[in-house]
Amino acid sequence: MTQARPVKVISVTGGKGGVGKTSVTVNLAVALAEQGHAVMLLDADLGLANIDVMLGLKADRNLSHVIAGECDIQDILLEGPGGIKIVPASSGTQAMAQLSPAEHAGLIRAFSQISHQIDYLLIDTAAGISDTVISFTQASQEVLFVVCDEPTSLTDAYALMKILNRDHKLTRFRLVANMVRSPQEGRDLFAKLTRVTEKYLDVTLDYCGAIPFDENVRKAIRKQKPVIEAFPRSPASLAYWQLVKKVEAWPVPQAPGGHIEFFMERLVQMNAQSSMSELGS
């Protein structure tokens, strides 16, 4: 039996769709992999631009088939650029709320089988403030918010921060500004958000920098490649290399709670709690 190793679990979220959550998740994953880390990506976004689509991969089975006991987790893993492993979770993440105890155990067992192979687990969350988004972010060690200069991006991000802080006691969020026209625009977005979080919430916001608006990101998606691979010298790619340095500097958990099976356990418990409260209300 291989020794479990600590894994860093990062949820990428934002409240709003179209701000660049999937782009950030995929490029960050590939950049971390190129730095020599073993990276797994969990696709928890039910939107149209799914990770598998963005990378030209085909998933015929997902986490729901593992939960149903139809196959092993090894059978559903897709291999992406830089050797990243992708867990197609889409419908599986919805199914998680209705798991039986035996299925819970099976899911946790499935993830403990592969836990020795991963340093980073990145989760691409869906838009909006659903129970699924809340459980994933709450079970993660780091929550990276992606915002951009669109009217509802900041208000949606703030609304999610508020729920995570007030109802779920999360106190630290990381922030990346995407599609900025200048570095100043990114700092302004951070300042605007900080003004309200400092006034109304008990959270620390950590600014991790900005990704510029870059046509190469869209060109890369048309080639079904992450920009960091397709156009490594483009402005967005250079910014991703800065971001990855910050992410690598985040502390890695040493306690057993930093292992992936504990993450899955927390996740499953939270899903169970939220479906219980739904039943009760």
Ligand X SMILES: Nc1ncnc2c1ncn2[C@@H]1O[C@H](COP(=O)(O)OP(=O)(O)O)[C@@H](O)[C@H]1O
Closest to Mg ion by CB, 22 or 178? 22
Closest to Mg ion by CB, 22 or 153? 22
Determine the residue with CB nearest Mg ion. Answer: 22
Give the interface segment with Mg ion, choosing from 42-50, 71-79, 177-185, 257-265 (CB under 5 A): 42-50
Q: Is 22 in the site for Mg ion (CB under 5 A)?
A: yes
Closest to ligand X by CB, 124 or 261? 124
Burial of 33 (0-12, 13-18, 19+ CB in 10 A): buried
Distance CA 216, CA 49 (A): 17
Half-sphere exposure of 74 (CA within 13 A, CB side): 5
Q: Of Mg ion, ligand X, none, which one sits near residue 189, judging by CB under 5 to 8 A according to partner kind?
A: none
Least CB distance to Mg ion at residue 199 (A): 30
Q: Of Mg ion, ligand X, none, which one sits near residue 211, judging by CB under 5 to 8 A according to partner kind?
A: ligand X
Least CB distance to Mg ion at residue 165 (A): 23
Q: Of ligand X, Mg ion, none, which one sits near residue 81, judging by CB under 5 to 8 A according to partner kind?
A: none
Least CB distance to Mg ion at residue 64 (A): 19
Residues in touch with ligand X (CB under 6 A): 14, 17-23, 47, 49, 178-179, 211, 213-214, 217-218, 221, 236
Q: Is 271 in the site for Mg ion (CB under 5 A)?
A: no
